[in-house]
Structure 1
Amino acid sequence: MSDFAYYTEEGLKKLKDELHEMKTVQRPRISEQIAEARDKGDLSENAEYDAAKEAQGLLEMKIAKMEELVSKARIIDNSLIDNSKVFILSRVKIKNVTNNMEMEYTLVAESEADLKEKKISVDSPIGKGLLGKKVGDIADVQTPNGIMKFEVMDIAR
């Protein structure tokens, strides 16, 4: 796996905002819960204290993971990407060879994938199958129902 993860500016900002919210809102809230539970007396049988400490541990793990993601994040410069092949941030129009149904997707980093917005991950089966293809190429995509064939109709940015 690559040392870096590639994001759009919007995707990286969203990641940083989420990390900031965890550090400035959620972390202090859990600290307050621990302090309140501690004030109630005997910690050995205090379920509130145990729950708050567990939540704190989970939050700190999430924060550490997000910090690692942000430290490895790189913003993609769209102007340097070749339009003749499918890469991350390509908007690809494809046609299912079997039923001639046409679809259009934008290939993005896994954390930015959102099917409602027609953004699929480059790590998804379709994304992996399309990477590096040119207009007119057929992508063989492995699915649970077998191999599906998609023809690349158009590539845009």
Structure 2
Amino acid sequence: MEKFYVSRKKYEDLVNEIKRLKEQKAQLSDEIGEAAAQGDLKENAEYHAAKEKQAETLRRIDDLEMKLRNAEITDDLAVDHSEARIGATVTLKDLVADIEFTYTLVGSMESNPDKGLLSVKSPLASGVLGKKQGETFTVELPRGPKKYKLVKLEYK
């Protein structure tokens, strides 16, 4: 089973989401019971809507519980801080465009490039994993190879 890498905060957020969804599931069960009491279920839109919402909620709960069972909290990982690993914040320089940008390397569940969170499964993050500060490397991106330099490596 695939490991899901998450920060402690994200793990706690997911636990809270499961609690909220379980409360929602109980509420939906009540709604289904009330709708069923109204009689003919074939033409009862409230009943069918509540059943569909309940099925979606159960799927989400199952998905989150599976991910939490296989979660590895990145805050607890013993990683070599001299290399770029999950949890590292890296400042990279595009050697062709001569621009710098910074990302924190995270698991796929937390990925949000617009907020500076880059999944370790992305091509760029995969290319920087294991590199040391000052090292140059080439990454095969969808538009072709690009050269980068790992300008700064830090763990916060």
User: Normalization by structure 1: what TM-score?
Assistant: 0.88
Q: Corresponding residue for 1:42?
A: 40
Partner residue of 2:11?
A: 12
Cα separation, 1, equivalents of 2:9 and 2:30: 32
CA contact (8 A) 1:87 1:132 kept: yes
How many angstroms does 1:78 deviate by?
5.5
| Matching of residues 5-154 of structure 1 within 5 Å | 5-24=4-23, 26-77=24-75, 80-154=78-152
Q: Please identify runs of 4+ aligned residues in structure 1 that moved more than 6 A.
A: none
Structure 1 portions without partners, runs of 5+: none
Q: Deviations over 1:39-98 (max 9, x none)?
A: 221012222212211221111111111111111112234572212111000111100011
**Are the counterparts in 2 of residues 108 and 121 from structure 1 also a CA contact under 8 Å?**
yes
Whether contact under 8 Å (1:78, 1:89) holds in the other structure is no
CA RMSD of aligned residues (A): 1.8
Residue 71 and residue 133 in structure 1: after superposition, are their counterparts in 2 closer, same or farther (change >3 A)? same
Residues in 1 aligned to 2:122 and 2:27: alpha-carbon distance in whole angstroms: 36
Deviation (angstroms), 1:131: 1.0
For 2:16, give the aligned amino acid.
D
Partners of 1:22 and 1:79 lie apart in 2 by: 29
1:13-39: per-residue Cα shift (whole Å, max 9, x none)?
Answer: 111111111112x21222132123212
In the comparison of the two structures, how many residue pairs are matched? Answer: 155
Q: 1:87 to 1:116 in 2, by over 3 A?
A: same
Contact map agreement 2:91 2:153 (CA 8 A) in 1: yes
